[in-house]
């Protein structure tokens, strides 16, 4: 009897996602509420210019097979819904944010950032700055450690 399981370990991916550096849109002095507004307007503009275009396609996925207790890696073909405009939409969103003066910057994750409010101003990326995830906004650059 053959059992198949996906190789992707969601728990491992979630654990690793909380450890590494953050990639944030940087514009020193901009408030968190302004960043959220700019992110939302650029996302809306990108969606208007490249609407969702879902197609159903067969894709190859890697699976782990167990035969007689021995794990083996194999491949299987499954149906998946693919958004054909997802990449274009992300490019349009990034161009919009760049036009508003934002740059994409990688910063270390904060270990002790304090309270971040809507009026908190983004710090300049550099020594002494770090990133914190803000609900509904995403990564924000702040002064701290």
pLDDT in tens, 5-56: 444 443 344 444 567 889 999 999 999 999 999 999 999 999 999 999 999 9
Average pLDDT, the chain: 84
The pTM score is 0.71
Of 99, 88, 109, give the one whose Cα is nearest residue 24: 109
- Rounded to 5 degrees, φ, ψ at 144 are 155, -160
Residue 100 has pLDDT above 80, yes or no: yes
Domain residue spans in the chain?
18-50+85-145, 53-84
């Amino acid at each position: 009897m053959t059992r198949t399981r996906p190789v992707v370990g969601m728990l491992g991916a979630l654990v690793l996602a909380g450890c590494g550096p953050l990639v944030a849109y940087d514009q020193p002095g901009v408030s968190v509420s302004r960043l959220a507004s700019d992110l939302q307007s650029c996302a809306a503009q990108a969606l208007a210019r490249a609407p969702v275009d879902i197609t159903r396609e067969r894709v190859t996925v890697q699976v782990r097979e167990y035969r007689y207790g021995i794990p083996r890696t194999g491949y299987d073909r499954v149906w998946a819904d693919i958004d054909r405009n997802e990449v274009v939409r992300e490019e349009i969103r990034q161009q919009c944010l760049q036009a508003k003066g934002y740059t994409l910057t990688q910063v270390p994750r904060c270990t002790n950032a304090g309270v971040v409010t809507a009026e908190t101003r983004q710090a300049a990326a550099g020594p002494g700055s770090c990133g914190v995830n803000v609900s509904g906004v995403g990564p924000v650059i702040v002064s701290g450690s």
